[in-house]
């Protein structure tokens, strides 16, 4: 079974530039999550999708972050304009459903904002 795919693995940008991350979840997984993991901290949920609908985006900084999951499969997370404090690993995870169970994470996309 293929795992959660993410790209790019690494991205370095200047502040005020934009960046986009892509995630392809495990086939059949209806629930998709984007997490932000700052060095030395636990993952912080940015947004949760159920199929192509948003379940929760209360912690997404909507003035600069946006995410979509068209067709209920792949998802993109965009940051525009980036700030220094956005430097982090952006983890995508998927699960069969939003009931208690394992989250399957991708390798993550490491963003460095200079």
Partner 1 sequence: GENVEQHPSTLSVQEGDSAVIKCTYSDSASNYFPWYKQELGKRPQLIIDIRSNVGEKKDQRIAVTLNKTAKHFSLHITETQPEDSAVYFCAASINSNYQLIWGAGTKLIIKP
The binding site for partner 1 (CB under 8 A) comprises 4, 40-45, 48, 55-56, 91, 98-100, 102-103, 105-108
- Decide whether 15 or 44 has the Cβ nearer to partner 1: 44
Which lies closer to partner 1 via its Cβ, residue 6 or residue 82?
Answer: 6
For 14, 16, 17, 73, 86, the CA distances from 81, given in Å and listed in that order, are 10, 4, 5, 26, 10
Between residues 59 and 80, which has the closer beta carbon with respect to partner 1? 59
Is there a contact between 46 and 64 (Cβ–Cβ < 8 Å)? no
Is residue 104 a contact partner of residue 94, using CB atoms and an 8 Å limit?
Answer: yes
CB of 49 to partner 1, least distance (A): 11
């Amino acid at each position: 079974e293929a795992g959660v795919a993410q790209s790019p693995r690494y991205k370095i940008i200047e502040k005020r530039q934009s960046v986009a991350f892509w995630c392809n979840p495990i086939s059949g997984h209806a629930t998709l999550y984007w997490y932000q993991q700052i060095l030395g901290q636990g993952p912080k949920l940015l947004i949760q999708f159920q199929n192509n609908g948003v379940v929760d985006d209360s912690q997404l900084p909507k003035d600069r972050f946006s995410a979509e999951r068209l067709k209920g499969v792949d998802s993109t997370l965009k940051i525009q304009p980036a700030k220094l404090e956005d430097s982090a690993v952006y983890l995508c995870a998927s699960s069969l459903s939003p009931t208690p169970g394992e989250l399957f994470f991708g390798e993550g996309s490491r963003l460095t904002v200079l």
